[in-house]
Amino acid sequence: MKKFSWRGLSIIIFICVTAFYLAPLAFPGLPEWWAKNKLKLGLDLRGGMQILLEVDTSELSVADARGAVDQNIKIIRERIDQFGVAEPSIQKLGEDRILVQLPGVSDFAAAENLIKKTAMLEFKLVSPMDEAKRVLDAIDVNVDNNLSMFPALLELDKKDRKILAGADSVAADTIKTGDGIFSSLFRPGDREYEVQFDNVRLVQDLIADSLFQALVPAGWQIALNKIDTQTPRADRSLYVLSSAVELSGADLAKAKVEYGSASSTDPRIANKPYISIEMKRDGARKFEKVTADNVGKSLAIVLDGVVYSAPNIQERISGGRAQITGQFTSAEANELSIVLNTGNLIAPIKPASTSIIGATLGSDSIRSGSLAGIIGLIAVVFFMLIYYKLAGFIADFVLVFNVGFILAMLTAFGATLTLPGIAGIILTIGMAVDANVLIFERIREELDGGKTPRSAVDAGYKRAVITVWDANLTTLIAAAVLYQFGTGPIRGFAVTLAIGIIGSMFCAIVFVRSIFDNFVVTGTKKTLSI
Protein backbone atom coordinates (compact mmCIF):
# COMPACT_ATOMS: atom_id res chain seq x y z
CA MET A 1 0.00 0.00 0.00
CA LYS A 2 2.84 2.37 0.80
CA LYS A 3 4.30 1.74 -2.64
CA PHE A 4 1.08 2.80 -4.32
CA SER A 5 0.77 5.97 -2.24
CA TRP A 6 4.23 7.15 -3.25
CA ARG A 7 3.47 6.28 -6.86
CA GLY A 8 0.27 8.29 -6.71
CA LEU A 9 2.04 11.28 -5.13
CA SER A 10 4.70 11.28 -7.87
CA ILE A 11 1.97 11.22 -10.53
CA ILE A 12 0.18 14.18 -8.91
CA ILE A 13 3.46 16.15 -8.83
CA PHE A 14 4.11 15.18 -12.46
CA ILE A 15 0.67 16.44 -13.58
CA CYS A 16 0.81 19.65 -11.49
CA VAL A 17 4.28 20.64 -12.74
CA THR A 18 3.25 19.97 -16.33
CA ALA A 19 0.07 22.01 -15.98
CA PHE A 20 1.87 24.90 -14.25
CA TYR A 21 4.40 25.42 -17.03
CA LEU A 22 1.98 24.75 -19.89
CA ALA A 23 -0.71 27.13 -18.62
CA PRO A 24 0.95 30.32 -20.06
CA LEU A 25 0.69 28.79 -23.54
CA ALA A 26 -3.08 28.38 -23.25
CA PHE A 27 -4.03 31.29 -21.00
CA PRO A 28 -2.31 34.59 -21.92
CA GLY A 29 -4.10 36.57 -19.18
CA LEU A 30 -2.19 34.98 -16.29
CA PRO A 31 -0.29 37.09 -13.70
CA GLU A 32 3.12 38.32 -14.85
CA TRP A 33 5.09 36.10 -12.43
CA TRP A 34 3.35 33.12 -13.99
CA ALA A 35 3.05 34.26 -17.60
CA LYS A 36 6.82 34.89 -17.88
CA ASN A 37 7.36 31.11 -17.78
CA LYS A 38 6.75 30.75 -21.48
CA LEU A 39 8.24 28.33 -23.97
CA LYS A 40 11.07 29.92 -25.97
CA LEU A 41 11.35 29.26 -29.68
CA GLY A 42 14.67 28.95 -31.48
CA LEU A 43 15.99 30.86 -34.48
CA ASP A 44 14.53 28.40 -36.98
CA LEU A 45 11.04 28.67 -35.47
CA ARG A 46 10.86 32.26 -34.27
CA GLY A 47 13.02 34.02 -36.80
CA GLY A 48 15.94 36.34 -36.05
CA MET A 49 19.47 36.71 -37.35
CA GLN A 50 22.64 34.72 -37.74
CA ILE A 51 26.08 36.35 -37.98
CA LEU A 52 29.35 34.67 -38.90
CA LEU A 53 32.24 36.71 -37.49
CA GLU A 54 35.94 36.62 -38.37
CA VAL A 55 38.45 37.53 -35.66
CA ASP A 56 41.53 39.43 -36.85
CA THR A 57 44.48 38.18 -34.81
CA SER A 58 47.17 39.36 -37.23
CA GLU A 59 48.37 42.06 -34.83
CA LEU A 60 48.59 39.71 -31.84
CA SER A 61 51.33 37.39 -30.70
CA VAL A 62 50.83 33.65 -31.10
CA ALA A 63 50.17 33.26 -27.38
CA ASP A 64 47.61 36.11 -27.29
CA ALA A 65 45.93 34.95 -30.49
CA ARG A 66 45.07 31.57 -28.96
CA GLY A 67 42.92 33.10 -26.25
CA ALA A 68 41.62 36.09 -28.24
CA VAL A 69 38.71 34.21 -29.84
CA ASP A 70 37.57 32.67 -26.54
CA GLN A 71 37.78 36.03 -24.77
CA ASN A 72 35.85 37.70 -27.58
CA ILE A 73 33.14 35.05 -27.27
CA LYS A 74 32.85 35.80 -23.55
CA ILE A 75 32.52 39.54 -24.19
CA ILE A 76 30.01 39.05 -27.03
CA ARG A 77 27.90 36.78 -24.79
CA GLU A 78 27.86 39.41 -22.02
CA ARG A 79 26.81 42.09 -24.49
CA ILE A 80 24.01 39.97 -25.92
CA ASP A 81 22.78 39.02 -22.45
CA GLN A 82 22.51 42.70 -21.52
CA PHE A 83 20.91 43.44 -24.90
CA GLY A 84 18.06 41.15 -23.87
CA VAL A 85 18.16 38.34 -26.47
CA ALA A 86 16.73 35.09 -25.11
CA GLU A 87 18.77 31.94 -25.60
CA PRO A 88 21.42 33.15 -28.06
CA SER A 89 23.73 30.57 -29.58
CA ILE A 90 27.42 31.54 -29.74
CA GLN A 91 29.84 28.97 -31.15
CA LYS A 92 33.51 28.91 -32.06
CA LEU A 93 34.13 27.67 -35.60
CA GLY A 94 37.66 26.70 -36.48
CA GLU A 95 40.49 28.88 -35.19
CA ASP A 96 39.24 32.40 -35.93
CA ARG A 97 35.48 32.33 -36.56
CA ILE A 98 32.47 32.84 -34.30
CA LEU A 99 28.88 31.92 -35.20
CA VAL A 100 26.22 34.00 -33.40
CA GLN A 101 22.51 33.11 -33.61
CA LEU A 102 19.98 35.58 -32.15
CA PRO A 103 16.40 34.27 -32.09
CA GLY A 104 13.59 36.82 -31.91
CA VAL A 105 15.78 39.90 -32.43
CA SER A 106 14.03 42.63 -34.47
CA ASP A 107 16.60 45.45 -34.63
CA PHE A 108 19.18 43.68 -36.79
CA ALA A 109 21.42 46.70 -37.37
CA ALA A 110 21.68 47.51 -33.65
CA ALA A 111 22.43 43.89 -32.78
CA GLU A 112 25.18 43.62 -35.40
CA ASN A 113 26.73 46.94 -34.36
CA LEU A 114 26.66 45.92 -30.71
CA ILE A 115 28.43 42.66 -31.42
CA LYS A 116 31.21 43.95 -33.65
CA LYS A 117 32.00 47.19 -31.76
CA THR A 118 35.58 47.01 -30.53
CA ALA A 119 34.78 49.34 -27.59
CA MET A 120 38.26 50.79 -27.21
CA LEU A 121 37.62 53.62 -24.73
CA GLU A 122 40.32 56.29 -24.39
CA PHE A 123 40.62 59.73 -22.83
CA LYS A 124 42.91 62.02 -24.83
CA LEU A 125 43.77 65.71 -24.68
CA VAL A 126 42.61 67.92 -27.54
CA SER A 127 45.29 70.03 -29.13
CA PRO A 128 44.78 73.83 -28.90
CA MET A 129 43.96 75.48 -32.23
CA ASP A 130 47.42 76.99 -32.73
CA GLU A 131 49.12 73.65 -32.10
CA ALA A 132 46.51 71.87 -34.24
CA LYS A 133 47.28 74.28 -37.11
CA ARG A 134 50.99 73.33 -37.01
CA VAL A 135 50.12 69.62 -37.03
CA LEU A 136 47.73 70.01 -39.97
CA ASP A 137 50.28 72.11 -41.88
CA ALA A 138 52.80 69.31 -41.44
CA ILE A 139 50.23 66.77 -42.67
CA ASP A 140 49.54 68.96 -45.71
CA VAL A 141 53.23 69.02 -46.63
CA ASN A 142 53.53 65.24 -46.22
CA VAL A 143 50.36 64.58 -48.20
CA ASP A 144 51.32 67.00 -51.02
CA ASN A 145 54.68 65.24 -51.31
CA ASN A 146 53.00 61.85 -51.53
CA LEU A 147 49.83 62.77 -53.39
CA SER A 148 50.07 59.77 -55.72
CA MET A 149 49.38 57.49 -52.73
CA PHE A 150 45.86 58.91 -52.40
CA PRO A 151 43.92 58.70 -55.71
CA ALA A 152 40.87 60.54 -54.33
CA LEU A 153 42.98 63.51 -53.20
CA LEU A 154 44.94 63.46 -56.45
CA GLU A 155 41.73 63.67 -58.45
CA LEU A 156 40.43 66.44 -56.21
CA ASP A 157 43.69 68.37 -56.64
CA LYS A 158 43.42 68.10 -60.42
CA LYS A 159 39.86 69.44 -60.34
CA ASP A 160 40.86 72.36 -58.10
CA ARG A 161 43.77 73.27 -60.36
CA LYS A 162 41.58 73.12 -63.45
CA ILE A 163 38.95 75.37 -61.89
CA LEU A 164 41.49 77.92 -60.67
CA ALA A 165 43.40 77.88 -63.92
CA GLY A 166 40.24 78.54 -65.88
CA ALA A 167 39.13 81.32 -63.57
CA ASP A 168 42.42 83.22 -63.44
CA SER A 169 43.84 82.21 -66.80
CA VAL A 170 47.05 81.23 -65.09
CA ALA A 171 49.03 78.10 -65.66
CA ALA A 172 47.77 75.37 -63.39
CA ASP A 173 51.21 74.40 -62.19
CA THR A 174 51.87 77.87 -60.79
CA ILE A 175 48.71 78.05 -58.67
CA LYS A 176 48.92 77.75 -54.89
CA THR A 177 45.93 78.34 -52.60
CA GLY A 178 47.98 78.71 -49.41
CA ASP A 179 46.50 75.51 -47.96
CA GLY A 180 47.31 71.91 -48.70
CA ILE A 181 44.84 69.59 -50.34
CA PHE A 182 43.99 67.91 -47.04
CA SER A 183 43.25 71.20 -45.23
CA SER A 184 40.92 72.18 -48.06
CA LEU A 185 38.49 69.53 -46.83
CA PHE A 186 37.58 71.44 -43.64
CA ARG A 187 37.45 74.93 -42.14
CA PRO A 188 38.51 76.23 -38.71
CA GLY A 189 35.89 76.63 -35.98
CA ASP A 190 35.97 77.96 -32.42
CA ARG A 191 37.68 74.99 -30.69
CA GLU A 192 37.96 72.44 -33.51
CA TYR A 193 37.71 72.19 -37.29
CA GLU A 194 34.47 71.64 -39.20
CA VAL A 195 34.21 69.12 -42.04
CA GLN A 196 31.42 69.80 -44.50
CA PHE A 197 29.09 66.87 -45.04
CA ASP A 198 30.16 66.41 -48.67
CA ASN A 199 33.74 65.85 -47.49
CA VAL A 200 33.00 63.66 -44.46
CA ARG A 201 33.27 60.33 -46.29
CA LEU A 202 36.64 61.24 -47.81
CA VAL A 203 38.03 62.43 -44.48
CA GLN A 204 36.79 59.23 -42.78
CA ASP A 205 38.52 57.08 -45.39
CA LEU A 206 41.77 59.03 -45.03
CA ILE A 207 41.80 58.77 -41.22
CA ALA A 208 41.32 55.00 -41.46
CA ASP A 209 44.04 54.63 -44.11
CA SER A 210 47.34 53.32 -42.68
CA LEU A 211 49.26 55.20 -45.40
CA PHE A 212 47.70 58.47 -44.25
CA GLN A 213 48.29 57.64 -40.58
CA ALA A 214 52.01 57.25 -41.34
CA LEU A 215 52.07 60.89 -42.56
CA VAL A 216 50.63 62.26 -39.31
CA PRO A 217 53.40 63.70 -37.09
CA ALA A 218 54.43 61.46 -34.22
CA GLY A 219 52.49 62.04 -31.02
CA TRP A 220 49.26 63.17 -32.73
CA GLN A 221 46.02 61.66 -33.99
CA ILE A 222 43.23 62.92 -36.27
CA ALA A 223 39.64 61.99 -35.32
CA LEU A 224 36.07 62.97 -36.15
CA ASN A 225 33.23 63.39 -33.72
CA LYS A 226 30.31 60.98 -33.46
CA ILE A 227 27.69 61.26 -36.18
CA ASP A 228 24.39 62.75 -35.08
CA THR A 229 21.80 60.14 -36.07
CA GLN A 230 19.00 62.70 -35.84
CA THR A 231 20.73 64.92 -38.43
CA PRO A 232 22.95 62.50 -40.37
CA ARG A 233 23.80 65.04 -43.10
CA ALA A 234 25.19 67.55 -40.62
CA ASP A 235 28.82 68.70 -40.69
CA ARG A 236 31.28 66.80 -38.51
CA SER A 237 33.94 68.18 -36.15
CA LEU A 238 37.59 67.28 -36.75
CA TYR A 239 39.94 67.07 -33.77
CA VAL A 240 43.70 66.96 -33.48
CA LEU A 241 44.35 64.77 -30.44
CA SER A 242 47.42 63.87 -28.49
CA SER A 243 48.14 60.19 -29.11
CA ALA A 244 48.98 59.73 -25.42
CA VAL A 245 46.19 57.87 -23.61
CA GLU A 246 45.45 59.60 -20.31
CA LEU A 247 42.86 57.01 -19.23
CA SER A 248 41.42 53.91 -20.88
CA GLY A 249 38.53 51.51 -20.58
CA ALA A 250 40.62 49.51 -18.10
CA ASP A 251 40.16 52.41 -15.64
CA LEU A 252 36.37 52.25 -15.95
CA ALA A 253 34.33 50.67 -13.13
CA LYS A 254 30.83 50.99 -14.57
CA ALA A 255 28.70 52.94 -16.97
CA LYS A 256 24.97 53.60 -16.91
CA VAL A 257 22.38 55.53 -18.90
CA GLU A 258 20.93 58.63 -17.30
CA TYR A 259 18.60 61.36 -18.51
CA GLY A 260 19.23 65.07 -18.09
CA SER A 261 16.44 67.20 -16.70
CA ALA A 262 14.65 69.62 -18.97
CA SER A 263 15.80 72.48 -16.72
CA SER A 264 19.51 71.62 -17.05
CA THR A 265 21.71 74.52 -18.15
CA ASP A 266 23.91 72.13 -20.14
CA PRO A 267 22.39 71.84 -23.64
CA ARG A 268 24.29 68.61 -24.21
CA ILE A 269 22.23 66.73 -21.63
CA ALA A 270 19.06 68.81 -21.18
CA ASN A 271 16.17 66.39 -21.64
CA LYS A 272 18.56 63.99 -23.38
CA PRO A 273 20.09 60.62 -22.49
CA TYR A 274 23.78 60.47 -21.65
CA ILE A 275 26.28 58.01 -20.20
CA SER A 276 27.40 58.44 -16.62
CA ILE A 277 30.72 56.72 -15.99
CA GLU A 278 32.49 55.91 -12.75
CA MET A 279 36.22 55.18 -12.57
CA LYS A 280 37.98 52.55 -10.53
CA ARG A 281 40.06 53.74 -7.57
CA ASP A 282 43.30 54.05 -9.55
CA GLY A 283 41.43 55.48 -12.50
CA ALA A 284 39.82 58.14 -10.29
CA ARG A 285 43.27 59.23 -9.11
CA LYS A 286 44.58 59.46 -12.68
CA PHE A 287 41.46 61.36 -13.76
CA GLU A 288 41.90 63.86 -10.92
CA LYS A 289 45.54 64.45 -11.88
CA VAL A 290 44.76 64.84 -15.58
CA THR A 291 42.02 67.40 -14.92
CA ALA A 292 44.20 69.29 -12.38
CA ASP A 293 47.14 69.53 -14.81
CA ASN A 294 45.07 70.56 -17.83
CA VAL A 295 42.58 73.18 -16.61
CA GLY A 296 41.38 75.21 -19.59
CA LYS A 297 42.09 72.42 -22.09
CA SER A 298 39.62 69.97 -23.66
CA LEU A 299 39.65 66.28 -22.82
CA ALA A 300 38.22 64.08 -25.57
CA ILE A 301 36.36 60.88 -24.77
CA VAL A 302 37.21 58.59 -27.68
CA LEU A 303 35.51 55.26 -28.43
CA ASP A 304 36.90 53.19 -31.30
CA GLY A 305 38.66 56.23 -32.75
CA VAL A 306 35.53 58.43 -32.70
CA VAL A 307 35.24 61.47 -30.40
CA TYR A 308 31.97 61.21 -28.47
CA SER A 309 32.49 64.37 -26.48
CA ALA A 310 35.32 66.79 -25.74
CA PRO A 311 34.34 68.91 -22.72
CA ASN A 312 36.51 71.76 -21.58
CA ILE A 313 38.17 71.16 -18.19
CA GLN A 314 37.01 73.96 -15.89
CA GLU A 315 38.60 72.69 -12.68
CA ARG A 316 40.11 69.64 -11.04
CA ILE A 317 37.58 66.81 -10.92
CA SER A 318 37.77 64.40 -8.00
CA GLY A 319 35.67 61.32 -7.35
CA GLY A 320 36.32 59.69 -10.72
CA ARG A 321 32.96 60.57 -12.31
CA ALA A 322 32.39 61.86 -15.82
CA GLN A 323 29.76 62.05 -18.54
CA ILE A 324 29.73 60.98 -22.15
CA THR A 325 27.37 63.08 -24.26
CA GLY A 326 26.80 63.05 -27.99
CA GLN A 327 23.19 63.57 -29.10
CA PHE A 328 22.27 59.97 -28.26
CA THR A 329 18.98 58.28 -28.81
CA SER A 330 17.86 56.09 -25.90
CA ALA A 331 18.80 52.97 -27.87
CA GLU A 332 22.27 54.32 -28.69
CA ALA A 333 22.91 55.30 -25.08
CA ASN A 334 21.86 51.85 -23.89
CA GLU A 335 24.05 50.16 -26.51
CA LEU A 336 27.06 52.27 -25.52
CA SER A 337 26.62 51.54 -21.81
CA ILE A 338 26.54 47.82 -22.61
CA VAL A 339 29.80 47.81 -24.56
CA LEU A 340 31.51 49.96 -21.92
CA ASN A 341 30.43 47.64 -19.11
CA THR A 342 31.47 44.47 -20.94
CA GLY A 343 34.88 45.76 -22.00
CA ASN A 344 36.65 45.98 -25.31
CA LEU A 345 37.23 43.09 -27.66
CA ILE A 346 40.69 41.55 -27.49
CA ALA A 347 40.92 41.45 -31.28
CA PRO A 348 38.80 43.26 -33.87
CA ILE A 349 36.08 41.31 -35.62
CA LYS A 350 34.22 41.73 -38.88
CA PRO A 351 31.05 40.04 -40.16
CA ALA A 352 31.85 37.41 -42.79
CA SER A 353 28.16 36.84 -43.50
CA THR A 354 24.82 37.86 -42.04
CA SER A 355 21.58 35.91 -42.50
CA ILE A 356 18.15 37.22 -41.61
CA ILE A 357 15.50 34.59 -40.87
CA GLY A 358 12.03 36.07 -41.06
CA ALA A 359 9.04 35.19 -38.93
CA THR A 360 7.32 33.73 -42.01
CA LEU A 361 9.96 31.04 -42.36
CA GLY A 362 9.65 30.34 -38.65
CA SER A 363 5.87 29.96 -38.97
CA ASP A 364 6.31 27.58 -41.89
CA SER A 365 8.77 25.51 -39.85
CA ILE A 366 6.36 25.36 -36.91
CA ARG A 367 3.52 24.40 -39.22
CA SER A 368 5.52 21.65 -40.91
CA GLY A 369 6.98 20.31 -37.68
CA SER A 370 3.63 20.40 -35.88
CA LEU A 371 1.90 18.65 -38.79
CA ALA A 372 4.52 15.89 -38.78
CA GLY A 373 4.12 15.48 -35.02
CA ILE A 374 0.31 15.37 -35.20
CA ILE A 375 0.31 12.83 -38.04
CA GLY A 376 2.80 10.66 -36.17
CA LEU A 377 0.81 10.95 -32.93
CA ILE A 378 -2.48 10.05 -34.64
CA ALA A 379 -0.89 7.03 -36.32
CA VAL A 380 0.53 5.81 -33.03
CA VAL A 381 -2.76 6.38 -31.18
CA PHE A 382 -4.77 4.35 -33.70
CA PHE A 383 -2.23 1.53 -33.77
CA MET A 384 -2.26 1.23 -29.98
CA LEU A 385 -6.07 1.36 -29.82
CA ILE A 386 -6.54 -1.29 -32.49
CA TYR A 387 -3.79 -3.64 -31.38
CA TYR A 388 -3.93 -3.34 -27.59
CA LYS A 389 -7.53 -2.18 -27.05
CA LEU A 390 -8.03 -0.83 -23.48
CA ALA A 391 -4.34 -1.05 -22.65
CA GLY A 392 -3.61 0.89 -25.82
CA PHE A 393 -6.09 3.58 -24.78
CA ILE A 394 -4.32 3.93 -21.43
CA ALA A 395 -0.96 4.22 -23.16
CA ASP A 396 -2.35 6.88 -25.53
CA PHE A 397 -3.82 8.82 -22.61
CA VAL A 398 -0.50 8.86 -20.78
CA LEU A 399 1.39 9.70 -24.00
CA VAL A 400 -0.39 13.07 -24.17
CA PHE A 401 0.92 13.86 -20.70
CA ASN A 402 4.41 12.84 -21.78
CA VAL A 403 4.42 15.33 -24.69
CA GLY A 404 3.10 18.02 -22.34
CA PHE A 405 5.82 17.13 -19.83
CA ILE A 406 8.55 17.68 -22.46
CA LEU A 407 7.23 21.16 -23.32
CA ALA A 408 6.83 21.97 -19.62
CA MET A 409 10.40 20.99 -18.77
CA LEU A 410 11.78 22.98 -21.71
CA THR A 411 9.93 25.97 -20.26
CA ALA A 412 11.06 25.29 -16.68
CA PHE A 413 14.73 24.99 -17.63
CA GLY A 414 14.61 28.03 -19.91
CA ALA A 415 15.60 25.86 -22.85
CA THR A 416 14.73 26.71 -26.43
CA LEU A 417 12.55 24.63 -28.74
CA THR A 418 14.08 24.31 -32.20
CA LEU A 419 13.13 22.36 -35.33
CA PRO A 420 15.52 19.53 -34.35
CA GLY A 421 13.82 19.69 -30.93
CA ILE A 422 10.48 18.96 -32.59
CA ALA A 423 12.16 15.98 -34.24
CA GLY A 424 13.29 14.91 -30.77
CA ILE A 425 9.69 15.06 -29.53
CA ILE A 426 8.51 12.92 -32.44
CA LEU A 427 11.28 10.40 -31.72
CA THR A 428 10.29 10.38 -28.06
CA ILE A 429 6.71 9.52 -28.98
CA GLY A 430 7.99 6.44 -30.76
CA MET A 431 10.23 5.45 -27.85
CA ALA A 432 7.42 5.93 -25.33
CA VAL A 433 5.21 3.64 -27.34
CA ASP A 434 8.04 1.14 -27.66
CA ALA A 435 8.35 0.93 -23.87
CA ASN A 436 4.62 0.24 -23.52
CA VAL A 437 4.73 -2.34 -26.33
CA LEU A 438 7.48 -4.26 -24.52
CA ILE A 439 5.47 -4.27 -21.29
CA PHE A 440 2.15 -5.17 -22.94
CA GLU A 441 3.71 -8.06 -24.88
CA ARG A 442 5.17 -9.50 -21.66
CA ILE A 443 1.73 -9.21 -20.00
CA ARG A 444 0.16 -10.96 -23.01
CA GLU A 445 2.62 -13.83 -22.68
CA GLU A 446 1.76 -14.23 -19.02
CA LEU A 447 -1.99 -14.16 -19.77
CA ASP A 448 -1.50 -16.80 -22.51
CA GLY A 449 0.28 -18.90 -19.90
CA GLY A 450 -2.88 -19.00 -17.82
CA LYS A 451 -2.10 -16.42 -15.13
CA THR A 452 -4.70 -14.15 -13.62
CA PRO A 453 -4.75 -10.47 -14.75
CA ARG A 454 -3.18 -9.35 -11.50
CA SER A 455 -0.39 -11.95 -11.69
CA ALA A 456 0.12 -11.28 -15.42
CA VAL A 457 0.54 -7.54 -14.87
CA ASP A 458 2.97 -8.07 -12.01
CA ALA A 459 5.04 -10.62 -13.90
CA GLY A 460 4.87 -8.70 -17.18
CA TYR A 461 6.20 -5.54 -15.60
CA LYS A 462 8.86 -7.45 -13.70
CA ARG A 463 10.16 -9.03 -16.90
CA ALA A 464 9.93 -5.94 -19.12
CA VAL A 465 11.18 -3.17 -16.83
CA ILE A 466 14.82 -4.24 -17.07
CA THR A 467 14.63 -4.21 -20.87
CA VAL A 468 12.95 -0.77 -20.85
CA TRP A 469 15.61 0.59 -18.50
CA ASP A 470 18.46 -0.75 -20.66
CA ALA A 471 17.01 0.56 -23.94
CA ASN A 472 16.28 4.04 -22.61
CA LEU A 473 19.48 4.34 -20.60
CA THR A 474 21.65 3.71 -23.68
CA THR A 475 19.68 6.35 -25.59
CA LEU A 476 20.03 8.75 -22.66
CA ILE A 477 23.81 8.27 -22.73
CA ALA A 478 23.81 9.03 -26.46
CA ALA A 479 21.81 12.21 -25.79
CA ALA A 480 24.34 13.26 -23.14
CA VAL A 481 27.20 12.76 -25.61
CA LEU A 482 25.38 14.80 -28.26
CA TYR A 483 24.83 17.60 -25.76
CA GLN A 484 28.43 17.60 -24.59
CA PHE A 485 30.09 17.61 -27.99
CA GLY A 486 27.34 18.99 -30.21
CA THR A 487 26.58 22.61 -31.02
CA GLY A 488 23.48 24.72 -31.60
CA PRO A 489 20.54 22.69 -32.96
CA ILE A 490 22.23 19.39 -32.08
CA ARG A 491 22.21 20.42 -28.42
CA GLY A 492 18.55 21.38 -28.69
CA PHE A 493 17.76 17.95 -30.08
CA ALA A 494 19.76 16.28 -27.29
CA VAL A 495 17.99 18.24 -24.52
CA THR A 496 14.55 17.47 -25.91
CA LEU A 497 15.39 13.80 -26.38
CA ALA A 498 16.78 13.46 -22.85
CA ILE A 499 13.69 15.04 -21.28
CA GLY A 500 11.46 12.86 -23.45
CA ILE A 501 13.29 9.68 -22.40
CA ILE A 502 12.95 10.49 -18.72
CA GLY A 503 9.28 11.33 -19.19
CA SER A 504 8.52 8.20 -21.23
CA MET A 505 10.16 5.90 -18.66
CA PHE A 506 8.18 7.53 -15.86
CA CYS A 507 4.96 7.27 -17.82
CA ALA A 508 5.45 3.64 -18.82
CA ILE A 509 6.82 2.29 -15.53
CA VAL A 510 4.92 4.45 -13.02
CA PHE A 511 1.93 6.21 -14.61
CA VAL A 512 0.55 3.35 -16.73
CA ARG A 513 1.31 0.83 -14.00
CA SER A 514 -0.63 2.89 -11.48
CA ILE A 515 -3.68 3.03 -13.77
CA PHE A 516 -3.50 -0.74 -14.25
CA ASP A 517 -3.20 -1.45 -10.53
CA ASN A 518 -5.91 0.94 -9.34
CA PHE A 519 -8.51 1.04 -12.10
CA VAL A 520 -8.13 -1.88 -14.50
CA VAL A 521 -7.03 -4.90 -12.53
CA THR A 522 -9.11 -5.95 -9.54
CA GLY A 523 -8.96 -8.96 -7.35
CA THR A 524 -12.02 -10.54 -8.96
CA LYS A 525 -11.26 -9.67 -12.57
CA LYS A 526 -10.91 -12.81 -14.75
CA THR A 527 -9.96 -11.22 -18.14
CA LEU A 528 -7.86 -8.31 -19.34
CA SER A 529 -8.36 -6.43 -22.62
CA ILE A 530 -4.88 -6.37 -24.04
Check residue 178 and give its pLDDT: 44
Q: Would you say residue 443 lies in a domain?
A: yes
- Sequence-ordered list of residues with C-beta below 8 angstroms from that of 286, at least 6 positions apart, any chain: 246, 247, 251, 279
Structural contact between residues 113 and 350, judged by C-beta atoms closer than 8 angstroms? no
Domain span holding position 76: 48-117+353-357
* CA pair distance 349, 114, nearest whole angstrom: 12
Q: In what order do the strands lie in the sheet with 236-242?
A: 186-188, 193-195, 236-242, 220-224
Domain finish residue from 299, 326, 357: 357
Which CATH number characterizes residue 507's domain? 1.20.1640.10
Task: Please write the tens of the pLDDT for every residue from 393-424.
Answer: 988 899 888 989 999 998 888 777 877 888 88
- Tell me, yes or no, whether 96 and 153 share the same domain: no
- Tell me, yes or no, whether 191 and 56 share the same domain: no
Give pLDDT < 50 ranges for the chain.
Answer: 1-3, 169-178
Q: Would you say residue 107 lies in a domain?
A: yes
Check residue 35 and give its pLDDT: 76
What is the pTM assigned to this prediction? 0.57
Handedness of CA 202, 203, 208, 213 (dihedral sign): positive
- Tell me, yes or no, whether 401 and 269 share the same domain: no
Handedness of CA 6, 8, 11, 16 (dihedral sign): negative
From the list 123, 68, 90, 111, the residue with the least C-alpha distance to 345 is: 68
- Tell me, yes or no, whether 324 and 449 share the same domain: no
- Tell me, yes or no, whether 252 and 307 share the same domain: yes
Which CATH number characterizes residue 57's domain? 3.30.70.3400
- Tell me, yes or no, whether 7 and 70 share the same domain: no
* CA pair distance 480, 471, nearest whole angstrom: 15
Q: Is 168 exposed, middle or buried (0-12, 13-18, 19+ CB in 10 A)?
A: exposed
- Sequence-ordered list of residues with C-beta below 8 angstroms from that of 16, at least 6 positions apart, any chain: none
- Tell me, yes or no, whether 226 and 285 share the same domain: yes
Q: Would you say residue 525 lies in a domain?
A: no
Residue type, 283: G
Check residue 166 and give its pLDDT: 61
Q: Would you say residue 190 lies in a domain?
A: yes
- Tell me, yes or no, whether 169 and 229 share the same domain: yes
* CA pair distance 515, 439, nearest whole angstrom: 14
- Tell me, yes or no, whether 285 and 409 share the same domain: no
- DSSP three-state, residue 296: coil
Provide the domain count of the chain.
Answer: 3
Paired with 322 in beta bridges are 277
Q: Would you say residue 29 lies in a domain?
A: yes
Q: Which CB contacts under 8 angstroms, 24+ apart, belong to 474-478?
A: 475/431, 475/501, 476/501, 476/502
- Tell me, yes or no, whether 289 and 207 share the same domain: yes
Domain finish residue from 300, 326, 357: 357
Domain finish residue from 303, 335, 357: 357
Q: Would you say residue 493 lies in a domain?
A: yes
- Tell me, yes or no, whether 246 and 384 share the same domain: no
Task: Please write the tens of the pLDDT for every residue from 464-506.
Answer: 888 889 888 999 999 999 888 876 678 788 889 999 999 999 9
- Tell me, yes or no, whether 196 and 305 share the same domain: yes
- Sequence-ordered list of residues with C-beta below 8 angstroms from that of 514, at least 6 positions apart, any chain: 4, 7, 8, 11
3-state helix, strand, coil in the chain (%, to 5): 55, 15, 25
Check residue 171 and give its pLDDT: 44
E strands present in 333-473: 349-357, 416-417
User: Which H or E run contains 11?
Assistant: helix 2-26
